[in-house]
């Protein structure tokens, strides 16, 4: 991860441990070539249309920026799976990530805006001020920047 995001992540994980929450990183920075492989594997498994609902096309992945990471519980249970959303760690993350500059990038109920299914494990570093504004307004990064919803773009 980029240095600023990595330091914020370390601070967040240390704070979580004080609350008896233990996280592990699953996937952070990915090279463009790695994202090509990841995306193509999902396409082979589920077809391109479905793969695009949960995996970014190469060149558009936040993992390629060094600002995003997928996290899970310390034991790896529910890594990058919907069941992570039902864990105490996910609840802690949703409540505290903004304090360290992270947002839940693909929140529940906002799929039509982000273009991706709910991913409580995918967090994106945006800085404390921006993360706090997004958290308090209960909006997405697209809404924060008043960007055109993905759905509107894909219908053109």
Domains in the chain: boundaries: 3-29+66-154
> 105 near 124, Cβ under 8 Å?
yes
pTM of this structure: 0.89
Q: Single out the residue of 14, 150, 9, 108 nearest to residue 67, CA to CA.
A: 9
Q: How far apart are CA 40 and CA 47, in angstroms?
A: 9
Within a 10 A sphere around the Cβ of 111, how many other Cβ atoms?
17
Architecture of domain 3-29+66-154: 2-Layer Sandwich (3.30)
pLDDT tens string 22-50:
999 999 999 999 999 999 999 999 999 99
pLDDT of residue 150: 57
119 carries an active-site annotation:
yes
pLDDT along the chain (156 residues), means of 10: 97 97 94 96 95 92 96 88 91 98 96 93 98 97 83 46
**3-class state of residue 39 by DSSP:** helix
Question: 76 is written with which tokens?
Answer: 């790896």
Annotated catalytic residue, options 119, 133, 142, 143: 119
> 89 near 97, Cβ under 8 Å?
no
Q: How far apart are CA 144 and CA 129, in angstroms?
A: 12
């Amino acid at each position: 991860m980029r240095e600023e995001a990595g330091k914020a992540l370390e601070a967040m994980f240390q704070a979580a441990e004080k609350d008896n929450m233990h996280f592990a990183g699953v996937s952070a920075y990915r090279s463009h070539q790695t994202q090509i492989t990841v995306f193509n594997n999902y396409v082979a498994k589920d077809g391109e249309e479905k793969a695009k609902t949960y995996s970014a096309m190469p060149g558009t992945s936040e993992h390629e920026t060094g600002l995003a990471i997928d996290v899970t519980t310390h034991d790896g249970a529910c890594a990058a799976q919907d069941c992570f959303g039902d864990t105490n760690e996910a609840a802690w993350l949703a409540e505290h990530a903004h304090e360290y500059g992270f947002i839940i990038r693909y929140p529940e109920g906002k799929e039509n805006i982000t273009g991706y299914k709910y991913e409580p494990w995918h967090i994106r570093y945006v800085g404390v001020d921006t993360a706090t504004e997004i958290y308090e307004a209960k909006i997405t990064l697209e809404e924060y920047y008043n960007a055109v919803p993905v759905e509107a773009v894909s219908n053109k």
